[in-house]
Amino acid sequence: MSRKWTAALLAGALALTGPAGCGGEDAGSGGSGSGGGKITLGFSQVGAESGWRTANTKSIQESAATAGIDLKFSDAQGKQENQIKALRSFIAQRVDVIAFSPVVESGWDTVLKEAKDADIPVILTDRAVDSQDTSLYKSFIGSDFVLEGKKAGEWLVKEYEGKTDTVNIVELQGTPGAAPANDRKAGFADVIKADPKFKVIASQTGQFTRTDGKEVMEAFLKTYPDIDVLYAHNDDMGLGAIEAIEAAGKKPGTDIKIITVDAVKDGMTALAGGKINYIVECSPLLGPQLMDLAKKVKAGEQVPQRVLTEETTFTQEQAKAALPDRKY
């Protein structure tokens, strides 16, 4: 992922708060669904696996209503085949713009080509695809997941600075093949590899859900009595793991240090309460920028090929301060 996006970033990717610009190709006018009136946007969502996803869906639905865009929303229930069917249905309906958050990175070229041949512009949101042909989509709006993994690793390195004992880490990965799972793993590994005291003793998918996070952590706890750190690719898996840790008679945040990604309200509450030690933020509030991009591509304006989300990190003290105003 970082390989692909290095090129895009060098080509002029913009931060969300940055000035409007044009890093991408000519956007074209798109399909003929609304004939110049109200824009029709077909959106295929991953599913409802996490608090992050719920907040993301809400952001997209509310922003479409505010922007006066006719949203055709489809829930893929975590399955790529459902997303491909939804995209084909959007093409058949001749929507003006298609947007989707790909369940996994690979396997999109054929359907994206079908959209391109139908002259319907596609915008990727949240997650990337690994297509080599970047003309298959107009823009990709979302986080830098490799950077998120790096931030998690950097906190850990600092936390154990000056210590020499081995640090046993278990990792709960997101959905296999999904960009955030691949990239958060890679970014974290890249940072901790510099110090051999950090050892990832187990790494398994928890599917980005609380239920699986809990189940896998239960198994980790049975197999490995000396876990020092849990790195979970999202808050929900971390929250499930906390239940498993408590059930095993250990204190989350103290006996086992916990780092997660997302910073949704439930995660932030656990962080403020001392059960999580550090959260790397991943913003789900992509709706307003998506609607803006959809209007631009429909109008034939040029849009940046990469729109990066601005994000921060939270310690326990910072979570206490941020919680009262947290929107999701």
Q: Interface with ligand AHR by CB under 6 A: which residues?
A: 49-50, 52-53, 126-127, 180, 208, 234, 236, 261-262, 282
Q: Which is nearer to ligand AHR, 121 or 180 (CB)?
A: 180
Shortest Cβ 73–ligand AHR spacing (Å): 17
- How many residues are recorded in the chain? 328
Shortest Cβ 197–ligand AHR spacing (Å): 28
Q: What is the DSSP letter of 4?
A: H
Q: Which is nearer to ligand AHR, 156 or 282 (CB)?
A: 282
Closest CA to 293 of 280, 281, 278, 309: 309
- Contact of 194 with 223, CB cutoff 8 Å: no
Return the structure tokens found at 198: 């950090």
The C-alpha atoms of residue 118 and residue 85 are separated, in whole angstroms, by 16
Shortest Cβ 137–ligand AHR spacing (Å): 16
Rounded to 5 degrees, φ, ψ at 258 are -130, 130
Q: Which is nearer to ligand AHR, 40 or 59 (CB)?
A: 59
The C-alpha atoms of residue 134 and residue 7 are separated, in whole angstroms, by 11
Q: Which is nearer to ligand AHR, 30 or 206 (CB)?
A: 206
Shortest Cβ 159–ligand AHR spacing (Å): 22
Shortest Cβ 320–ligand AHR spacing (Å): 22
Residue with token string 């876990």 = 227
End-to-end CA distance of the chain: 27
The C-alpha atoms of residue 267 and residue 55 are separated, in whole angstroms, by 13
Shortest Cβ 126–ligand AHR spacing (Å): 5
Alpha helices in 172-300 (DSSP H): 179-192, 210-223, 235-247, 265-272, 287-298
Sign of CA dihedral 261, 267, 270, 273: positive
Q: Which is nearer to ligand AHR, 49 or 96 (CB)?
A: 49
Closest CA to 58 of 78, 42, 73: 73
Q: Which is nearer to ligand AHR, 40 or 182 (CB)?
A: 182
Shortest Cβ 116–ligand AHR spacing (Å): 24
Q: Which is nearer to ligand AHR, 149 or 253 (CB)?
A: 149
Shortest Cβ 134–ligand AHR spacing (Å): 20
Contacts of 324 (CB under 8 A, 6+ apart): none
Q: Which is nearer to ligand AHR, 34 or 234 (CB)?
A: 234
